[in-house]
């Protein structure tokens, strides 16, 4: 998972900080990553494949709550609903 492994660690750190800062269920943290349905020439080298995106979504879900993934034009958008007791 080339740079995706480092991204995954960073994503989880940011998501966990958002949960701790929020202190209660309900906030919807969002993370965007390069890619989408029409990435620019420069973004193409940073695009994660479907398995890497699914792995990130799964890891976020394990730590935070329900995760959504949207493929926008030039980015992948992860959103999560913080569940009670997530840390």
What pLDDT was estimated at residue 63? 80
Can you say whether residue 37 is alpha, beta or left, with left for phi > 0 and alpha for psi between -120 and 50 degrees? alpha
Residue 1 has pLDDT above 50, yes or no: no
What's the per-residue H, E or C state across the chain?
Answer: CCCHHHHHHHHHHHHHHHHHHHCCCCCCCEEEEECCCCCCCCHHHHCCCHHHHHHHHHHHHHHCEEEEEEECCCEEEEEEEECCCCC
| pLDDT tens column, 31-55 | 888 889 999 999 999 899 999 999 9
Residue 15 has pLDDT above 90, yes or no: no
d(CA 81, CA 78): 10
């Amino acid at each position: 998972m080339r740079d995706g492994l480092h991204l995954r660690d960073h994503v989880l750190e940011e998501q966990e900080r958002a949960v701790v800062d929020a202190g209660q269920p309900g906030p919807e943290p969002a993370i965007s990553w390069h890619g989408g349905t029409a990435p620019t020439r420069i973004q193409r080298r940073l695009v994660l494949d479907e398995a890497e995106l699914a792995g990130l979504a799964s890891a976020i879900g394990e730590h935070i709550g329900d995760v959504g993934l949207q493929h926008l034009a030039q980015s992948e958008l992860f959103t999560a609903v913080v569940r009670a007791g997530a840390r």
